[in-house]
Amino acid sequence: MSKQFTLEEVAKHNQPGDLWVVIDSVVYDLSRFADLHPGGPNVLFVDAVAGQDATQVFFGLHRLEVLQRPQYKRLAIGTVHGQKSLLQPPPPGHISRVPYAEATWLVPGYSSPYYSANHRKFQAAVRTFFEEVVRPAAIESEDNGKKIPQDVVDKMAEVNLIAMRLGPGKHLHGRKLMNGLVEPEEFDYFHELIINTELARFGGRGFVDGILAGAVIGLPPVLNFGSPELKARVVPEVFGGKKYLALAITEAFAGSDVGGIQTTAVRDGDFWVVTGTKKWITNGHFADYFTTICKTESGFTVVLVERDDTVSTKAIKTSYSSTAGTAYVIFNKTRVPVSNTLGEVGNGMKVILSNFNHERWMVTCTALAAQRVVVEECMKWSSQRIVFGKPLNSQPVIRAKLAKMIGLVEAGQSWLESITHNMCNMSYAEMSDKLAGPIALMKQFVSRGGQEIGNDATQVFGGRALTVSGMGKVIENYHRTSAFDAILAGAEDVMADLGVRQAMKRMPQTARL
């Protein structure tokens, strides 16, 4: 591509069979491609395009990534003499310079009391890892609905990313985290927040769950309530990416009202016999283990069910990608060793509830990261889209929408960081006591805001936000799937109610106006 042309030379190639255009200083020969062009050949032969610098019109219709696809890269034949490319894709690990595209602590010139030098190094390494190793798989899996590829899982396991996703704790001790970048004892909830943020930046909500969210929510009961033998066997398999695990609570009969579940576990000697169904089980379609709550003679009991011929899973078609492995699970008299019991018999609710705060906090982290990407997309689109002869962002109504989106994301981020700071400084018991309400309220605030952001972003992008590919594909995906954040880990309205009821419990008896 060392050949250089003048604009005058390019201009001579302006008809069917001999068609050149300039995009961002690069000269493309579209002579043979014109008939194959997904937008049709005719649009390429208009005077403002054929033989001309079509940069502005091109970016009104295509994402930068189109030019990076190998089949289109080949169309480049040289550059325009004296011009330089201004629109290269950013290198992996890059911090966006688009205002509000990054949390403030990452923006040069701003400071934050929450993040140490180690968090900063960690963020840079995790972003680079996710962009280099995970992004291509994320985009492909979101599209084709297949499970996250095993080689990506293996690479995540190598740097202990699966283990780190469960947050700080003893399970990290003795492990080399991110090639030794952070000491296991040093790893805190801000490190985990960083991981959650980075993995949700690819514009695919199904993949956010497909990237082993099942283990993040289903393994803690094993870690905290399983026998030493069970842990010694299962935990290394899951952290090593060799086996998959899902949390099986909800049923067609019971969602937020967990008490209504109908799956039973009946004792038969050294076994539980588990019978029943579970619905909406994230990663369930490919899981080897199911952390399952069952009705037992006395109350509820949680057991770790291992997949065998008596366990069948059916993929449920949801409005997000089936890469999440969402499943309907059927246990048909499945025999589970009593040694797989997690926690006390009859006290299963405690085991399940112990997990909810962390799960809700995690959903908030990933939801906010996705919303920030939506803000970035809208900021870019509204400045590059020319409408009525002016950039879209010259319209006050568009700026008002941007203001609302930015406000929601920044408010959510500040709340999240404040809660995360408290998580770092509280014992587990204090967290359960003091943070269940705030985390529930924060989650409902962020998920509700997310749905508003999805609606506003759709208006900003117009029809482009309604197609799964092309300019508005990130917005389409977010808008279609934002309700997942409002349902998973606790329905939005239930969260709001829980948060306020917790606050009411703390009202001083003597409080009067």
Q: Which residues contribute to the site for ligand HEM (CB under 6 A)?
A: 21, 23, 28, 30, 37-39, 43-44, 49, 54, 57-58, 61-63, 66, 72, 75, 469-470
Residue 293's DSSP bridge partners are 302
CA distance 139 to 203: 8
Q: Facing residues of 18 across strands?
A: 15
- Closest approach, Cβ 88 to ligand HEM, in A, equals 15
Sign of the Cα torsion 472, 324, 482, 480 reads positive
Amino acid occupying residue 512: R
For 347-359, the DSSP string reads: BHHHHHHHHHHHH
Least spacing, CB of residue 387 vs ligand HEM, in Å: 14
* C-beta closer to ligand HEM: residue 45 or 105: 45
Q: Given CA atoms 165, 171, 173, 179 in this order, what sign does their dihedral have? A: negative
- CB closer to ligand HEM out of 37 and 506: 37
* CB nearer ligand HEM, residue 41 or residue 299: 41
Q: How far is the CB of 13 from ligand HEM (least distance, A)?
A: 13
Whether residue 445 contacts residue 409, with contact meaning beta carbons closer than 8 Å, is answered with: no
Beta carbon of residue 401, minimum distance to ligand HEM (angstroms, whole number): 21
* Pick from 206, 207, 284: nearest CA to 246: 284
Exposed, middle or buried by CB within 10 Å (0-12, 13-18, 19+), for 234? buried
44/435 with CB nearer ligand HEM? 44
Smaller CB distance to ligand HEM: residue 42 or 414?
A: 42
Tokens of 241: 């990416």
Identify whether the C-beta of residue 21 lies closer than 8 Å to the C-beta of residue 54. Answer: yes
Nearer to ligand HEM (CB atom), residue 29 or residue 306: 29
Of 61 and 386, CB closest to ligand HEM = 61
**What residue number has its CB nearest to ligand HEM?**
39
Smallest gap from residue 469 Cβ to ligand HEM (A)? 6
Q: Are 383 and 377 in contact (CB under 8 A)?
A: no
CB of 10 vs ligand HEM, minimal distance in Å: 13
Q: How far apart are CA 456 and CA 86, in angstroms?
A: 30
User: From the CB of 33, what's the least distance to ligand HEM, in Å?
Assistant: 7
Which residue in 60, 139, 128 sits closest to 380, CA to CA?
60
- In whole angstroms, give the CA distance from residue 82 to residue 320: 47
Minimum CB distance to ligand HEM smaller for 29 or for 186: 29
The number of residues making up the chain comes to 513
Q: How far is the CB of 90 from ligand HEM (least distance, A)?
A: 19
Cβ distance to ligand HEM smaller for residue 30 or 208: 30
Q: Where are the beta strands (DSSP E) in 4-102?
A: 4-5, 14-15, 18-23, 26-29, 76-80
Are the C-beta atoms of residues 479 and 454 closer than 8 Å to each other?
A: yes
- In 3D, which of 356, 196, 355, 209 has the Cα closest to residue 286? 209
Instruction: Return all residues near 77 (Cβ < 8 A) that are at least 6 apart.
Output: 1, 3, 20, 27, 28, 29
Among residues 448 and 479, whose Cβ is nearest to ligand HEM? Answer: 479
> Toward ligand HEM, which CB reaches closer, 19 or 238?
19
Strands 4-5 and 76-80: parallel
Name the minimum Å distance from CB 7 to ligand HEM: 15
